[in-house]
Every structure is written in structure tokens, then in C-alpha cells.
Chains A and B, each alone.
Chain A
């Protein structure tokens, strides 16, 4: 399977990455929607957040979705790395001496590195939450999270954001990096899918810009709230 995954055409690989990327972009919106209940946006926000988290870990449709989501992440990352390695090889063994002076956006140039940083954050995120849910690890003892821990993510999050400054800082940086990744990726996905139009492309690009600012900002507000007000 890995071999056939490698031998497919360059454009097919790019299309797979673009489609999965767009899928992850939609998912991120759902995730943000749930996360915002961590903030006191209404009276029973904590209960609602816990209910949503509970629904996410018990409903079978969500469970199927979870597998698809994992696969989407892994394949997106896999092809990102494969394409990058091929690209390094394509340049050849001798590099240019003079630094390239072509004007391109740094967001597009470093997309593989922002991607790798996000991947590292994802691992941390899994360690902090998803693996607890799977029962692989348990929450830090100091947090005194009651059992079953997956039912008490709200307490865990509040504890992490109020006690672990380093966690909060990593969290905020990760979402800034994600914003940079998405700013390029959103537009690029449409270009790769050939969805280019003199009238609609500027609209798509504008939506991409808004998305890549608003959504990471939405995530960032949460630790900022806890740092400043709790």
C-alpha cells in the first residue's frame, strides 16, 4: 500500500492533501465550537462543554468519524512529508550559492515547517487529552481530576490553563503557527483542486484570510481568558 501510495502522480498526491486539508479545516471549526463552551459564554457552559465532550466520546457516529479524522491527519502528514522529500531530491545535490531573491510569501515557503510544528503540538494535545480518553495515560496527579477522567476534561483544561503557564504559552504559539499554515493552505488547496476563477478566487482568498485569523484567535482567547481573569 505504501508503495502504491508513493507511485501515484504528483498532482494526485497534492489533490489528496488538499481535500484532506479542507476536511480538517471544517473539523477545526466544529472543535472550536465545542471549545468555546469552556469560556463562561452562558450560565451552564461547563455542563454544556462536558455534555458535548461526553457525546463526542460515546456516540458511535462520532466514533466512526474519529477514525476517519485520524486517517485524514495521518495521510495529510504522510503526503506532506513524501512530497517534501521528493522536492528536496528534485533540487539536486548542488544548491545555489546566492540566496534566492524571488518574492514569495514566507507562509508558503515554510509551510512544511509550520506543518511539522503543528504535528508536534498535535502529539502534545493527544498526550494531554485524547490518550486520557483512550485510557492510555492519566491526567497529572496534581490536577486531582476525579475518575473517570474523560468525563472531567473541563476541570483538566481549567487546571492546565491556570497552573501550567508553559502549557498555555505552547498552546498560544501553536495556534499562531496554525494560522500561518492555514493562511497559505486555504488558498493553495483551491488552486491545487483547480478551482480558480477570476471572480471567485479573491473571495476564497479573503475567506481564507479571515478563517486563518479568526479561528486560531478563537482558540487563543481561551488560555488568555484564564491567564488574565482567573
Chain B
């Protein structure tokens, strides 16, 4: 297969970037998208050029490292797939593929297609945890959890923190990510204890870092590679209201 590529190249955070055209004449439809980029980079290195920088790690859709805004879709076309799970067979022979980094003020470009997603870590650090020593594993039945809640918490926990929701959202809102992280803890007994403080702290951090405000277009849900649902956002809003008007212990 032949493909044409239009890739965003940017030396570092300070310089201006531009689109550069490349073409690959001999890609197999069976190749994964990242393998295709590897092939491009090998070619660039052989020619003495600078390889395209892009994030990747597990290459099996579990780490959340890969990103890329491909032809108008975060993680490319195809539902519930990460870029690393995407294959060249999803594209037509001779097609031009436009590859851009996530675009959000809170995700500045570091180099080429790599953006700094530290903002997500900062939100987690603001409250996305349980502040008790866990010690050794306790008897499984000592804390009871409803099966439905456990299942929902698990679904929320499957968010890999990739940032596609921010990239897809016209407002660069991080609410799907934040609400998934809030839900995975708040749905279970151990996490419920600090649920109120957590939602306030994480939302405040999200605002401070300059993410946008959800206007309920649900682009995030449509593009999330893990199928995280907007019901998480409703839950976050609900908990937020509870935290604001509910009684709290004064320190």
C-alpha cells in the first residue's frame, strides 16, 4: 500500500511547528499504525533526518501513552481503539493521513507529536487517591461492596488517562477523565470515605490547570478508546453539589 503523510513537526516547546509531507510506498495493510511510523522513522534515520517523536509504550491499548489526532479523530478512526491498536487496513490505498498532536492549552507540545500530559498527574495528585496505609491484604469479605458498584467502578477505572477526551472536546474539557477517576474510587467503600473532599480538590485543580468547561456535546464519550461513559460526569456533578451543600467537618 502507498500512503501519504502530513505530520506536525515541532522542534521543542518554544519553537513554532509546521506540517511536513512524507510518503511511504511499501506499507502492509497488516501493519499497526505505530509500526508504520516506525518504518517512516527508520527511513528518516537512514536518510540522515530527524525521526518523528511520538508517545508509545505498551502498544496493546492499556497504558494510555499513545495519542495522535489522526484525520480529525483522536486515536484515529474506529471505535474504542487506541492509536497503537489501529491498523493501516483502516485507511485507503493512496490516502493522505494527517497526524497532529493533542491540541489543548493544558497539554503543551514538547516535540513533534508528543504533548506534556503532566496536568493529568497533577489532577490525580490533588485527590485521586485514598489516604490510608493499606498494610497487608485484609480478608476479602471484611468490607462488602455491591457487585453492581464494583462493576461500575471497574468500568470507570478502565480509563487509561490518554487525554483523547480533552483532544476531542471542542472546549478541551477534562471532565470525562476527572469524573472517571472520581467514580472509580467513590463507588467503592474504601473510596467513599473521602469522596466529597476528593471531588472538590480534583475539580479545583482541573480548573486551575486551564481545562475547558463541559458543554455536554459528548464528543469525549464518542472518542474515548475505553468507552468511558458520560454518566461518570453526571456522577461527578452530583457529588460536587453534595460536597458544596452537604455538611462537612470543619478543620
Contact = CB atoms under 8 A, between A and B. Distances in A.
A103 B79 CA distance: 11
B211 A108 contact: no
B12 interface: no
Contact of B106 (A9, A12, A90): A90
A98 B235 CA distance: 33
B172 A87 contact: yes
Contact of B216 (A11, A101, A191, A195): A191
A63 B211 CA distance: 41
A96 B105 contact: no
Contacts of A108: 215-218
A196 B234 contact: yes
B214 interface: yes
B67 to A, nearest CB: 13
A90 B222 contact: no
A157 interface: no
B104 interface: yes
A194 B219 CA distance: 18
A188 B69 contact: no
B212 A86 contact: yes
A191 B216 CA distance: 8
A10 interface: yes
Given A12-B244, A90-B171, A102-B168, A187 B216 contact: yes
B28 interface: no
Interface of B: 6, 8, 17, 19, 69, 71-73, 77, 98, 100, 103-108, 168, 170-173, 203-204, 206-207, 210-219, 222-223, 230-231, 233-241, 244
A184 B172 contact: no
Nearest to B71: A98
Contact of A101 (B72, B210, B211, B218): B72
Contact of B203 (A9, A92, A101): A9
Contacts of A11: 203, 236-237, 240
A91 interface: yes
Given A87-B170, A194-B238, 18 more contacts: A90-B106, A92-B103, A92-B108, A92-B172, A96-B72, A97-B8, A98-B71, A100-B168, A101-B77, A103-B222, A109-B170, A109-B217, A111-B215, A191-B216, A193-B238, A194-B235, A194-B239, A195-B234
Interface string A163-182: 00000000000000000000
Contacts of B230: 191
Contacts of B215: 83, 87, 108, 111-112, 188
Interface of A: 9-15, 83, 86-87, 89-105, 108-109, 111-112, 184, 187-188, 191-196
B14 to A, nearest CB: 14
Contacts of A93: 105
B216 A97 contact: no
Contacts of B19: 97
Contact of B241 (A15, A87, A91, A104): A15
Contact of B104 (A92, A104, A105, A192): A92
A95 B223 CA distance: 18
Nearest to A11: B240
A12 to B, nearest CB: 7
Contacts of B77: 101
B168 A196 contact: no
